[in-house]
Amino acid sequence: MGTLNPHTEPTATFDQDAEFMQQAIRLARIALEQGDAPVGSVVVRDGKVIGEGVEAVRSENDLAAHAEAIAVREACHALGSLDLAGCTLYTTVEPCYMCSFVIRSAHVSRVVTGRAVPHVGGINSKHPILMDPGIPNWSRPPLVTTGVLEEECSQLFTR
C-alpha cells in the first residue's frame, strides 16, 4: 500500500480505508454477477457514503457506465454540487483515463484504490492523468492511496 502526491486533504486510518473498500468489493461482486467487470466504487464524505457505483458497461450497454463515474454522479446529486472537495473515492480498480477525468473535474480530494491497471490506469500507466499536476485548467491532483485490500480486489478477476 502506498500514498502518492501527499497534501493536506481528507485522511483516514487503514481500518477506515479497509471498511469502505469492503463496501466497494461488495459492489464489485454485484457487477460480476451482472456480467460486468468486477469494479465497485463508493464516495465518502465525513465518514458517510454519499455515492455508490457498480460497473455496468455490458449490462447497460453503456460505455460510460464505469463504477467510479456512477459513484461520482451519485455523490454530486446527493450534495447538489459538482464539487466533491473533501470527499474520498474508494474503488476496487485503478481508475481509467475517463474516470480519472471525472474525478479531477469533480475535485475529489482523495482516491483509494485496490488493484492496479498499469496499461490504461490514471495512476500507473505511461499517462498518469489522475496524478499529473501539469495539465492546464485541471484541478489539483487528489491524494492517492494504492493497494488497499489489493489481494481481495485482484481475486475478483480470477473467478
20-to-78, 91, 112, 128, 138 alpha-carbon distances in Å: 18, 9, 9, 24, 27
Closest CA to 73 of 102, 31, 30: 102
**33 in active site:** no
Q: Helix or strand or coil: residue 48?
A: strand
Q: How many of the other CB atoms lie within 10 Å of CB of 29?
A: 15
In angstroms, the CA 24 to CA 6 distance is 23
Catalytic residue chosen out of the listed positions 52, 55, 68, 74? 68
Report, as residue numbers or ranges, the catalytic residues: 68
